[in-house]
Structures are given as C-alpha cells and as structure tokens.
C-alpha cells in the first residue's frame, strides 16, 4: 500500500511539474506575440507618419507607447534571441528618426526594425 501511495505521489508531482513547464512556455509565447504585435504597430505608425497620413503629435505618442510596451514585455522574456533584446533600442531609434523629419534616416530605421522583427519571427517559429 505504501508503494502505491509513493507512486501516486510521484506521478502527481510529475504532472504538476509538467503543467508548470507548459504554463511557462505558453506565457513566453504570449509575450512574444505581444512583442511582435507592438513592433508591427510601430512600423505601421512610422510608415503612416512618413507618408503624412497621421500628425506628428499622434505618431510620437503612439510610438512612445509601443516603445514602452515592447520594453516591458522584453523584460519579462526569460530566454530569447539577441535580436529580441535589441528591439527596444531599435524602436527608440525609429521613433526619434520619424520625429526628426529626416525621411531617409526614418526609412532606414523602420526597415531595420522590420528586419529585426522578421528575424525574431523566423527564429521563434520553430519553438
């Protein structure tokens, strides 16, 4: 009887541990979706500003919000590609370039941001 109890206890512990691991993986995937979504939003906002479709005040506030959200989410990721940890800086650079009105610098920054996001998507697709 004691062996059966120990086995059940061991099995329950293993199931709890697996459930904990699964929850962590789900949380990390949710964080990555959030990071990629906020980054894509920043790209769209920056491109709209460069086309003159949205006012500078709106785009500045919206890009700042994207920066904050990405930085917060990246800070919660437990393991990620180096490009992931560079996203907040790339967002800040793109927002500054858009705000400066230097179209060439802004386009280059937005392209670099897009490339970083694409690389991260590719790297995380397999996990």
- The predicted structure's pLDDT at residue 127: 58
State the Cα–Cα distance between residues 75 and 35, nearest whole angstrom.
Answer: 11
Q: What angle do CA 30, 13, 9 make, to 5 degrees?
A: 160
The tens place of each residue's pLDDT in the chain, 127 residues long, gives 555 444 444 444 544 444 455 577 889 999 999 999 999 999 999 999 999 999 989 999 999 999 999 999 999 998 887 889 999 999 999 999 999 989 999 999 999 999 999 998 888 876 5
**Which pair of structure tokens corresponds to residue 106?**
């802004």
- The predicted structure's pLDDT at residue 82: 82
CB 88 within 8 A of CB 117: no
CATH number of 26-125: 1.20.120
């Amino acid at each position: 009887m004691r062996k059966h109890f120990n086995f059940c206890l061991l099995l329950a512990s293993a199931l709890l541990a697996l459930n904990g691991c699964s929850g962590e993986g789900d949380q990390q995937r949710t964080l990555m979706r959030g990071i990629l979504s906020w980054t894509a939003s920043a790209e769209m906002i920056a491109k709209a500003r460069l086309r003159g479709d949205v006012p500078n005040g709106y785009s500045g506030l919206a890009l700042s919000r994207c920066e904050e959200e990405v930085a917060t989410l990246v800070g919660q990721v437990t393991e990620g590609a180096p490009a992931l940890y560079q996203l907040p800086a790339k967002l800040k650079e793109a927002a500054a370039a858009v705000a400066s009105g230097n179209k060439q610098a802004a386009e280059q920054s937005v392209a670099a941001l897009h490339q970083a996001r694409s690389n991260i998507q590719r790297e995380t697709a397999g996990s």
